[in-house]
Structure 1
Amino acid sequence: MLRIDPSEVEFTAIRAQGAGGQNVNKVSNAVHLRFDVAASSLPEAVKARLLAHGDQRITEQGVIVIKAQTSRSLEQNKADALARLQALVNAAAHVPKARKPTRPTLASKQRRLAGKASRAQIKQGRGRVRGSE
């Protein structure tokens, strides 16, 4: 599991959206987390997989932007944003296993052809009935 260096993460406190009563217009409790993938200390392979991920949180410049506003506490929102960034990096660090192409067995080919033949017989019987002339 890769650890993210806290010095590479930039936090910005912003005002949260939604209901919050009198407090919502005065206190900046939501957090914008910005993480520049290209300038980070992550391995090159992980950087490439992160940038190729196609996530909407990754900008065209290669910066991951995560907004956390679920909690009323700034520290909890920071922790939530860091956990979500860590989960994204962990998903990119996981190398998918290469798929080995396989070929169908002889028995499976024969089963498929037998099924096709029986289906053809059923459909053949649906034709127009001809009178014996």
Structure 2
Amino acid sequence: MLEIDDNLQIADDELVERFVRSSGPGGQNVNKVASAVELRFDVTNSPSLPDALRARLLARRDRRLTAEGVLVIQANRFRDQVKNRDDARARLAEIIRAGQFVPKKRVATRPTRASKERRITEKKKRATIKSGRGTQNWSGD
């Protein structure tokens, strides 16, 4: 059971873990031991996720999300299989926690009269500065 927060848990049978050989340094051990973890979680068909959370997770532009709606997490930070497994589960929980955050709706506002006037006076000031940079008659005629 993967605990996301107090009222959201994901059953272990929804998580598919595959252990593969890790890349990188490790000596002879790297060719023998499958210490890297590939964790797959089907966001689209998960009964644990509320519909709103599922929609937010699927709407994210995440390269770890496949076209079928499966979230794939690769964990090979450690040389120990158990640590990589825990790391992958923690990262999955963090992604789901981030999806629980509902962004606040933007309230459209109009600029005030004073802010419009400040903008116009600043534009005029910049225009006079730039117009002074034009071609000048240096000959003194």
TM-score, L = length of structure 1: 0.88
Asked if structure 2 preserves the Cα contact closer than 8 Å seen for 1:4 and 1:86, the reply is no
* Pairing partner for 1:10 from 16, 19, 41: 16
Partner of 2:87: 80
- Counterpart of 2:51? 44
Distance 1:16 1:117, change over 3 A: same
Task: Determine the C-alpha separation between the residues in 2 that align with 1:128 and 1:77.
Answer: 68
Work out the CA distance in 2 between the residues paired with 1:110 and 1:60.
Answer: 50
Distance 1:15 1:108, change over 3 A: same
Equivalent in the alignment of 1:31? 37
Provide the residue aligned with 1:21 in structure 2. Answer: 27
Q: How many residues align?
A: 130
1:93 maps to 2:100: yes
Q: Which residue of 2 aligns with 1:63?
A: 70
- Residue type of the alignment partner of 2:97: N
Q: Which runs of 4+ in 1 moved over 6 A?
A: none
Structure 1 residue identity aligned to 2:17: F
- The 3 A distance-change label for structure 1 pair 24 and 120 is closer
Return the TM-score normalized by structure 2.
0.83
- Tell whether 2:109 aligns with 1:112: no
Give the number of the structure whose residues are more often strand, by fraction.
2
Query: Kindly, what percent of the aligned residue pairs are identical?
Result: 52
> Unaligned 5+ residue runs, structure 2?
none
- How far apart are the structure 1 equivalents of 2:75 and 2:135? 68
CA RMSD of aligned residues (A): 1.7
Change (3 A) 1:129 1:14: closer
Comparing 117-126 and 99-108, the one that deviates more: 117-126
Change (3 A) 1:114 1:35: same
